[in-house]
Amino acid sequence: MQKPSTCARPPWPQLLGCALAVTLTACGGGGGGGSAGTSAPASATTLSGTAVDGYLQGARVLLDVNGNGLADAGEPTATTDANGRYRLDYSTLSSPIAGMRVVVTGGVDTDTGNAFTGMLTARADGAQAGQLVSPLTSLVDALVAEGFSLDAARLKVASALGLSVADLATDPVAALASQPVLYTRQVALQRAVQLLASAEQGSDTAYVAQEKVLRKLAIVIVAQSSPATVGELVARANLSQASAGRDLADAVEDALNEALRSQGGRASAKASLKAMDQIRVEMESSRDYSLGRAATRLDERNGGSAYSGLAGSVGKAEAINTFTRRAGTATTVSQPASTAGRLLASNCFQCHGTGGVGGFDRIRGSDAAEVRDYLRKPARSDIMAAHAQGYTSAQLDAIIAYLKQ
């Protein structure tokens, strides 16, 4: 494929893949979808926006004027707040900032509480306000480094991941409730990039290694003709641990998708992502890039089998519940006015509960009287019939009364 020649090759592969035409909305530290607030309007010499993997708090944001990737004297910098928002004052600059790199490093990922050891990049555009810097903007940036125009790079990344160009301009945390795929794909991408960079690093700095990994992924995207998952793209990259990167990306997406569907929702997703980060760090520190073996080692140190369940295909739901409880974010079950019959109804909880996270709220309030219908069925015909026929009529009435509250 011939590369577009509509822009000059930039000195360093970072660009803003999300040139927003509207003000970026932000919500409370890692909250769910919707818009809880709006970034303050930028002045004529202020560049504002949001840095997000989860929202990055306390991260350094650099306007890289000379394109060397370093914070040199006189280059504007800022620090992100708890919602990942930043405001860069570039009033001391005499040249236009459009096309200059915005580089984000350090800080804490508010979704996990872990230090952010990666790097996110973008390119400033004429909007000034709402400049999103995310894993996807970093990937778009890598395509610009390969000679693509900004618009062409956005289109290639969006098409390769089954997204729209507008999706690349969307804060994935603010849109979590309506578009969870934006969040799950971005965090999976960032973790795969960091894992692969660790494997390829050698004498390079971690940031240079991540840049090289993104360029390898850009080559894959150029050749991609149909939508794919992050894992599928990673698997096609010419990298020594591409298979391990795919395993990690797939496991992250699978775990988060299931966590978001659970009653724990956002809280479970955060707890699961933190656990997946622990597995990734174990892979990196041991230089053993087997997802399964890393999870097993963590289980041996911590007891139980939660890490293996989260990384594998069996026991994922219970593993998610385990990490949610450990994080202290389990859903509190609201008790009805009368708790008579609750102990008897605990048998229902074994099937209809959520492993200790949530529980009766998922089956309360419906027409529990249908339980009596199972008394007319053979005990071996249905598990509900077997359960129901283990109670007396009075006991069933007590269960029904409890569940109907």
State the average pLDDT over residues 179-193.
96
pLDDT of residue 97: 86
Amino acid at 102: V
- Residue 227 pLDDT greater than 90, yes or no: yes
- The pLDDT of residue 66 is 87
pLDDT at 272 over 80: yes
At residue 328, the pLDDT reads 80
Residue 116's pLDDT band, with cuts at 50, 70 and 90, is: very high
Q: Give me the pLDDT at residue 25, please.
A: 35
Task: State the pLDDT at residue 51.
Answer: 97
**Which tens digit of pLDDT belongs to each residue from 357-387?**
334 444 444 455 566 666 677 766 666 677 7
pLDDT of residue 354: 40
Which is higher by pLDDT, 254 or 346?
A: 254
- Nearest residue to 46 via CA among 9, 93, 99: 93
What is the pLDDT at residue 149? 87
| CA–CA gap between residue 155 and residue 26 (Å, rounded) | 25
Cα separation of the two ends of the chain:
64
Give the mean pLDDT of 343-368: 52
Residues 97, 75 contacting (CB under 8 angstroms): no
Whether residue 232 has pLDDT greater than 50: yes
Question: Which whole number is the average pLDDT over 128-134?
Answer: 87
Greater model confidence, 99 or 9:
99
Angle at 334 between CA 328 and CA 337, to 5 degrees: 155
Beta bridge partners of 122: 102
Summary mean pLDDT of the chain = 81
Mean pLDDT of 210-237: 95
pLDDT at 15: 35
Position 215 confidence tier, pLDDT thresholds 50, 70, 90: very high
DSSP string, 260-271: HHSTTHHHHHHH
Question: In which order are the strands placed within the sheet that holds 56-57?
Answer: 56-57, 108-109, 114-115
- Report residue 150's pLDDT band, with 50, 70 and 90 as the boundaries: confident
Bigger pLDDT: 326 or 38? 326
Pairing between β-strand 56-57 and β-strand 101-105 as defined by DSSP bridges: unpaired
Q: What is the pLDDT confidence band of residue 233, given thresholds at 50, 70 and 90?
A: very high
- Residue 77, pLDDT > 90, answer yes
What mean pLDDT is predicted for residues 70-98? 91
- Flag the least confident range among 103-107, 121-125, 186-190, 391-395: 391-395
Q: Which amino acid is at 12?
A: W
Banded model confidence at residue 335, pLDDT cuts 50, 70, 90: low
| Lowest-confidence segment of 17-31, 39-53, 305-319 by average pLDDT | 17-31
Q: How many CA atoms lie within 13 A of 146 on its CB side?
A: 25
H or E segment and range at residue 363 = none
Residue 246 has pLDDT above 50, yes or no: yes
Q: How sure is the predictor about 20, in pLDDT bands with cuts at 50, 70 and 90?
A: very low
Predicted local distance difference test score (pLDDT) of residue 307: 96
Residue 401 is predicted with a pLDDT of: 73
Let me know if 289 is exposed, middle or buried by CB neighbors in 10 A (0-12, 13-18, 19+): buried
Q: For residue 359, give the amino acid letter.
A: G
Q: Is the pLDDT of residue 28 over 50?
A: no
